[in-house]
Amino acid sequence: MEEKEIEILRKSGIINNKAQKLAQKIVKPGVSFLEIGTKIETFIKEAGAKPAWPVNLSINEQAAHNSYNPEEEVIVKETDVLKVDVGVSIDGYITDSSQTFVFKKENELLREASIKALLSAKEYLVNNPKTAKISELGELIENKILSYNFKPVSNLTGHTITRYVTHNHPSIPNVKNNYDIYFKDIDSWFAVEPFVTTGSGYVTEGNQVYIFKFEEEYPIRNTNARKLLEEIKTFEGLAFSEFWIGKDMSVFDKKIAIRELLKAQIIAAYPVLIDKPGSLVSQAETTFLVTEKEVIDFVEIDEILM
């Protein structure tokens, strides 16, 4: 990567770090998802960047892709395990981070397991910049989680990031795998995100959908759908919320338009991902770059999590 690209990512990471510190000030029992999500996104915009996706606010058995909904009042409860996943984009250069909030002592070990798994992964990368492999990292993360008597979520992974593309290849599994790939050879930055669960260790798609992404443009007849498409294209391929668009449309017209865009495969939906009911999932995440010379944690996750 060119140095100018790395500098943009450093700026993105600083904003991401501050957004997560803002989350630490906001998140507590009694606060609404709407307040958390909108305050973080407003901060990112005022800092000169863009949210790379709607702030993910996933609770309890939800592992990812939940967010705020202005049409529903969701309030954080003392019994909740809340993941706050933040993406920051500057000119398509994205940094990705997550932290987990718990409010009851009985859930602290679950949170700790995801933190220690991530920090162990970071230590491994820092100590082995020339020889660190995806396969070894996955095994290390899995073993750390198992040592806490929890399970890793096997079908959620970290991911390579490229400009305007949040999830690229190769992926970074949180379990033992056969990806015999050196991180220094990826030639891009990437997110590592251990998910720790008391459940099955495998997530499925739920019924709720708050996050969408542009896929490909096709002709479409619905006037409102065409109007929404013009708004959607301004996100330049980054994920968006239905509540970010069509603000001058009725709720009914907008939902019909979104349905038409989905049917035409112009946009894709990202349902909330859940483990079995009654389980709890924690997550910790940051964004790295490994070069021949160094390992960069763009978000500097240590000072957020510890």
Q: Are residues 191 and 234 in the same domain?
A: no
Q: Are residues 219 and 180 in the same domain?
A: no
Q: Are residues 256 and 283 in the same domain?
A: no
User: Rounded to an integer, what distance in angstroms lies between the CA atom of residue 221 and that of residue 155?
Assistant: 38
Report pLDDT for 247: 93
Q: Whole-model pTM?
A: 0.96
CA angle 54, 59, 60 (to 5 degrees): 155
Q: Are residues 217 and 191 in the same domain?
A: no
Ranges under pLDDT 50 in the chain: none
Q: Are residues 223 and 197 in the same domain?
A: no
Q: Are residues 110 and 159 in the same domain?
A: yes
Q: Are residues 199 and 212 in the same domain?
A: no
User: Rounded to an integer, what distance in angstroms lies between the CA atom of residue 77 and that of residue 154?
Assistant: 28
Report pLDDT for 293: 82
* Residues spanned by the domain of 223: 206-271
CATH number for position 193:
3.90.230.10
CATH number for position 218:
1.10.10.10
**Strands, E assignment, the chain:** 50-51, 56-59, 62-64, 81-90, 93-102, 151-152, 158-162, 165-172, 189-192, 195-197, 204-214, 240-241, 267-274, 281-283, 286-290, 295-297
Q: Are residues 135 and 244 in the same domain?
A: no
Domain count, the chain: 2
Q: Are residues 222 and 258 in the same domain?
A: yes
Q: Could you give the residue numbers annotated as active site?
A: 85, 96, 159, 167, 193, 285
DSSP state of 235: G
Q: Are residues 247 and 292 in the same domain?
A: no
Q: Are residues 265 and 283 in the same domain?
A: no
Q: Are residues 217 and 154 in the same domain?
A: no
